[in-house]
Amino acid sequence: MSLEVKVPVVGESITEVTIAKWLKNDGDRVEMDEVIAELESDKATFELPAEGAGILRLVAQEGDTVAVGALLCRIEPNGEAASAPASAPAAENAQPATAPAQESGAGETVEMIVPTVGESITEVTIASWLKNDGDHVEMDEIIAELESDKATFELPAEATGTLQIVAQAGDTVEIGGMLCKIVAGAGGTSKAAAQPAAPAAQQAAQPAAATSGAQTYASGTPSPAAGKILSEKGINVSDVQGSGRDGRITKDDAQNAQAKPATKASAPAAKQENASAPAVTGDRNSRREKMSNLRKTVARRLVQVKNETAMLTTFNEVDMKPIMDIRAKYKDKFKEKHEVGLGFMSFFTKACTVALQEWPAVNAQIDGTEIVYNDFCDVSIAVSAPKGLVVPVIRNAEQLSLDGIEKEVIRLAKKARDGKLTIEEMTGGTFTITNGGVFGSMMSTPIINAPQSAILGMHNIVQRPVAINGQVEIRPMMYLALSYDHRIIDGRESVSFLVRVKELLEDPMRLLLGV
């Protein structure tokens, strides 16, 4: 009996994952605990080990979004798959006589239906057919691209034979609905029969395709990686020549592509035709991109927080001169001793942990009809990563020294930018700090990171005139914003918390003395 490998439970609140890559092919032999796939959630990327030894049979394909607990693949014991390798030499030796054999199998039809692609997905749209009706297709060859409201994924052929398309490009088909049929051995030219003439045909076809401009469904279509690179470069897909299968634009094509200068050839004619219209100069291009799983999840959670919490924001400002003086005086010795720079984040994190212990409601959260108070401070630090905003957690920050906090910030930020954060490193925080000041933000109202109840927003440091002991002085000032859930945190607690953070930052000696 084959062993079923399902999507494991990978973390709190994660209900689905996307298959980023299969590291083994269908029919390959795998060993116990061998890594066979890479899975992606909206928070992290992780590896899938084989749960037994045997022959791998894929059920879900690369790009599919699969619910936790859903079937990914099966692993068959060696005995069930023994006939496949044994028959391979015979099939190779019988290649010259393949055509008659296929004719004898004509009429056997495989009906391909829309597979189950993820939780709550009830229908898909056929983005494009990569093969035409009547074409010969091989087993596991990609024949179409399907789109759901969560992901785009490829459809492999489930048999070798002639393709008969049932649903057309652009059609929306329900899960289980028929997409096409594959008639084994009927019509089309088999791969084995055409093999002797393949080299000559390829040599003749390549120049012909270049001059004739023949198009297929895949022509000019970028792969996901290529599409991302082209969008970052601001290059139109139509300006790139694809070198992949059927003219598909590959990652290398995108990396080598150069933006074309705007043409002005038709300017005189355009002026005559549109003499009465207002002049429009410059490019007016626009493009559409699919939202990533991470961006979809962030969008859903932010709207959920806005709808389900009584969120308020209170503001204050901090004179940063005392901290800046300490950094200027001791930063070299600090780095020499601790091998890490002395930044602002350690001061803010330390000040917040002191204030959180004095005002525990800011460090609490609502769970149903109960309030959960925490005697520890797991501080989440918002980090801008290539795939989007992630929030790794510094565990027991109240027990760490300034150098310990700096080391954790650097470690987690580096893993975030490399895409190596684990689920455990991004869950379970009790309070969040976000620093929009690094991008130049002067003032903002950060949104709470659910299920937490409060978030502190840091902003840029600006030289402003302030009154100091009856005298006007120019000081480096920063605005602070505390967004909080008014259901659990009252105005007195939120304002007092922020004032306490201000006191600790403006007199850093308090942090060392604990007063």
Catalytic residues: 486, 490
Gyration radius of the chain's alpha carbons: 30
Tokens for 495, please give them: 């304002």
Q: Is the dihedral of CA 52, 54, 59, 65 positive or negative?
A: positive
**Helix axis angle, 321-338 to 491-506, nearest 10°:** 70
Give phi and psi for 246, each to the nearest 5. Answer: 55, 30
Q: Cβ distance 228 to 287 under 8 Å?
A: no
Single-letter code of the amino acid located at 442 = M
Two structure tokens written together for 75: 């692993």
Q: Give the start-end residues of each E strand in 103-200.
A: 108-113, 123-129, 136-137, 142-147, 152-156, 161-165, 172-174, 178-184
Q: Which of 491, 485, 493 is nearest to 308 (CA)?
A: 485
**8 A C-beta contact, residue 378 and residue 349:** no
3-state secondary structure of 336: helix
285: left (phi over 0), alpha (psi -120 to 50) or beta: beta
3-state helix, strand, coil in the chain (%, to 5): 35, 30, 40
Distance CA 4, CA 71 (A): 7
Scan for tokens 């393709």, then name that residue.
Answer: 163
Amino acid identity at 267 = A
Structure tokens at 471: 């005298």
Rounded CA-CA distance 405/182 in Å is: 61
Residue found under tokens 């060392």: 512
**Backbone angle region of 324, left / alpha / beta, with phi > 0 → left and psi within -120 to 50 → alpha:** alpha
CB proximity list for 96: less than 8 A, separation 6 or greater? none
CA 126 – CA 244 distance, rounded (Å): 21
The C-alpha atoms of residue 208 and residue 214 are separated, in whole angstroms, by 9
Tell me phi and psi for residue 27, to 5 degrees: 95, -10
* Partners of residue 111 on adjacent β-strands: 181
Please give the distance of CA 151 from its chain centroid, rounded to a whole number: 11
> For strand 365-367 and strand 311-319, is the pairing parallel, antiparallel, or unpaired?
unpaired
CA angle (13 as vertex; 8, 15 as ends), nearest 5:
50
